[in-house]
Amino acid sequence: MTTQSDDGVDSDVDTATTTYDSSTALLVVDMQNDFADPAGGLYVQGGEDVVALVNAEIAAAHDGGATVVYTQDWHPESTPHFQKDGGTWPVHCVADSWGAELHPELDVRGPVVRKGTSGEDGYSGFSERDPVSGEPHPTQLGTLIPPEVRRLVVVGLAGDYCVKETALDGVRLDYEVVVPPGLIRFVNLSAGDDDRAVQELRAAGVII
């Protein structure tokens, strides 16, 4: 069966979107309660609908011998990342809270990279940046991807922020990057952010 994502791209929802082998890594981005549950602090519309689809992708990746790595927002209670402390976002994914937990139905079989642990803006799974100075530094994600991997498949939440930034960093690191549109959802903090994100990804060479 085929469905159409919010950006008008058809995608297969019953089976994995790609073929996996040891040269591919699947990056599962921020599939957490605060994003994927309607009761979450920064709920992404339709986020809960992605869980089962991502699980099918995870199963296919494991069956094909691919690497699977997960990312997880993990913020302190106060950080310049949050509106209450002068930032952009409502409080979300505070360390050790329900909202920060990976969705209970997500199939977690692989290492988890936590980001934003010291208050950084941790949009990309590959890098964090100081929310005041903008100075970037790498996470451990790059060390978890084997050297034989040449292609990344990036799925999860949200398409206009953490998925996008992870995919763009992947391109900068010389990977072929695929973002299956049926396996992401968007925050749309501003109207049209979803379309702009897809355009930016395509312009960078990401396969949508």
102 DSSP 8-state letter: B
Q: Is 30 a catalytic residue?
A: yes
The rounded distance, in Å, linking the Cα atoms of 175 and 150 is 5
Contact 97, 45 (CB under 8 A): no
Cα–Cα nearest to 67, from 10, 177, 185, 146? 146
Write a three-state SS string for 56-80. HHHHHHHHCCCEEEEEEECECCCCC
- Does the annotation mark 160 as catalytic? no
3-class secondary structure, 117:
coil
Among the listed residues 30, 73, 121, 160, the single catalytic one is 30
Question: Which of 73, 93, 115, 164 is labelled catalytic?
Answer: 115
Distance CA 92, CA 34 (A): 6
Rounded to the nearest 5°, which phi and psi values hold at 141? -55, -45
* Tokens describing residue 79: 């950080």
162, 164, 169, 194: which one is catalytic? 162
* CB atoms near residue 104 (< 10 Å): 11
Q: Quick check: is 84 catalytic?
A: no
* Residue 68 · residue 62 · CB < 8 Å: yes
Maximum pairwise Cα distance, the chain: 47
Active site residues: 30, 115, 162
